[in-house]
Structure 1
Amino acid sequence: MSALRHASDLSQTALSEKLKRAFVERAKALGFDMVRVARPDSTPLAPVRLQAWLDQGHHGSMDWMAETAERRASPQALWPEVRSVILLGLNYGPTEDPLAALALRDRASISVYARNRDYHDVIKGKLKEVAGFLAVRAGSDVKVFVDTAPVMEKPLAEAAGLGWQGKHTVIVSREFGNWLFLGAIFTTAELPADAPERDHCGSCRRCLDACPTNAFPAPYQLDARRCISYLTIEHKGHIAPELRPGIGNRIFGCDDCLAVCPWNKFAQAGREAKLQQRDDLAALPLAELARLDDAAFRARFSGTPIKRTGRERFIRNVLIAIGNSGEPRLAREALALLDDPSPLIRAMAVWALGRLAPGEVAALADGRRESETDPDVRAEWRNVLADTMETIP
């Protein structure tokens, strides 16, 4: 009986390996660059680390992270029937230095990932197709996730061997550097798991030192409340004055910690990237962006992740970049937005004017401060006027 059982186990293993090979072949034919498998119980430390991060308040205003912590803790908590977790990576590596735009102070720097079609749309369609292939071949149930459900993709990607979480908490791949979009497929099929990837960061801390706003309190820890990507994309309110100068001209996301990683020199970025970057999203003039109304904003960024933030947050970011530009000629763009319907925009227009045209602030404040009904905008006027008085000899 034991010999028969052993033979049966060997046969089942062979079938699982054959199924996995067919799946990987299909996924790569659809454009995925990396495909690995992890066991559902392969990230036992993730729940503890997640809770510690939440307890420190490092999630900022992303309340859904705390609300879904229990389901996010492990794949089985989200779907008890899961037997295998497939992690897939899609290369979006840039063809040029993503930090070059930072030197163009009158132009906008947009994160590499946002210079393509919205990755949710790109990857989800591919994931659904390859998941359907698996469901038919294995007769199994499947669930597809692309950053839209409480799934801890990065620890799972490390456990599956796609890469390791660097000191900046982002997945680093030996083949593709820091430039992988991640997707996950949960399945009831039993697939052979891959070996986890070990940490290759060593003593390097370039990513930590590159952060303009000191968002890393320690290696492997990110305080989202100071992260430019969080501030310019997720954060809906006013950005703290002490963080604004560090944002520079980054109006949507930040690539600094990714781009300085030494592992990028081994990446196949650019040469084999499956996503075509839009040239019209590189180094856009800040003056042009500041003039976008809601309809023009939606049309300009249709199909990109930028559109999801809405005009209000976007123009807030543009005004911060204008205030950091050191270009007095851009003061007129801030002046034109002093009466915008959005208090968030009006407040940042005041701040930008204070930076570019401090000598004109007092005259501009006459009449506006008294008629302003929003307390945050009034506070910006007070702060700018106070700063102006301090700079007058």
Structure 2
Amino acid sequence: MRLSQRINQIQPSATLAMNALTQKLRDQGKEVISLAVGQPDFSTPDHVCAAAHAAIDQGFTRYTAVPGIQELRTAVAGYFKRFYNVNAGADNVVVTNGGKQSLFNLFQCLLDPGDEVLLPAPYWVSYPAMIQLAQGRSVIVPTEPDEDFLVSVEALEAHRTDATRMLVLNTPSNPTGCHYPRERVDEIAQWAVDHDIFVISDEIYDQLVYAPGKPVSLSTWWEKHPERFAVVNGLAKSFAMTGWRIGYTLAGDSLIKALSKIQSQCTSNICSIAQKAALAALTGPWEPVVMMREAFAVRRNMALEHVRSWPHVVCPAPVGAFYLFPKVDHYYNDEVRDSTALCAYILEKAGVALVPGAAFGDDRCVRISYALDEATILLALDKIRDVLTSLG
């Protein structure tokens, strides 16, 4: 059998690969603490699960409209009104199999061969592969930890060419947890409008922003320029619904039609039962989200204090999400040459799984998830510190 050149050029997701390796080691009887997985450790709220049970009991198990049931699309539009005072309608929304499908479909609908996409680094692991599959070209725009890993308009302009088609902005960021303030977002958005650059705003962590930080959405710019912006979000992180696979895209009318067209040829609608659960999440009580956000803030403070106590390590304070992205390249040596080798070394010596920064476009760093209980986080961080100390 001959596989296509397309698939041979794509690497598996580094985060999912590390998760699979962790599970394999556990199946072999080894104790492994995983700080690699990007999902909340909380249970999906009861009222959301009850809605799914009710959908099954009522026989709501057949195909729906490709972009989602009308009530859910209306609820998504209502989300943007509630939190960002943005006026959108159900026809501006398509519901997808997780935020990942939203992004994949957007790249497929918007990119032609050779189109360039500006990716501030560190970036989420799947952006480059998705862009490559759409025959676009990723143009990496590096950022620095002493600038909170936030890209500037000046850096974006330095990487802009006649082939620049798109910018992907992710705030709060996976992997850094850093978050763009409103002033910076507005400056970047205006620059994109001025240069006719389409912006995809990945806002999957927008409900996990910690005080005094505030959620920021480019949906406000979408409302003014509906053909220049698209917003991607979902319920995986905010409602602890990673396995339910519920994402959505806010976009202009013509793009929504294109996204629905491509979705009709690959997955059709998302799970009908999950749609009813999503409707309950968006229209029901938000106290579970507040509770999770407060718990993550406590863990963030604890983990950040611990990591910043490690000698020679630099770690910006995350404002959102549930990740730390410390710069640890001081500990590289002839045996441990890069972030991939360091993560393998820590897994071998300490039984703690991390994700190498190389997967996110910054080989100086590693990603640490604090989406676990406090005792487990502290135990894992102690083990990592001991390994780093042994390396000098």
Normalising by structure 2, what TM-score?
Answer: 0.23
Instruction: Look at both structures and tell me which one has the larger radius of gyration over its CA atoms.
Output: 1
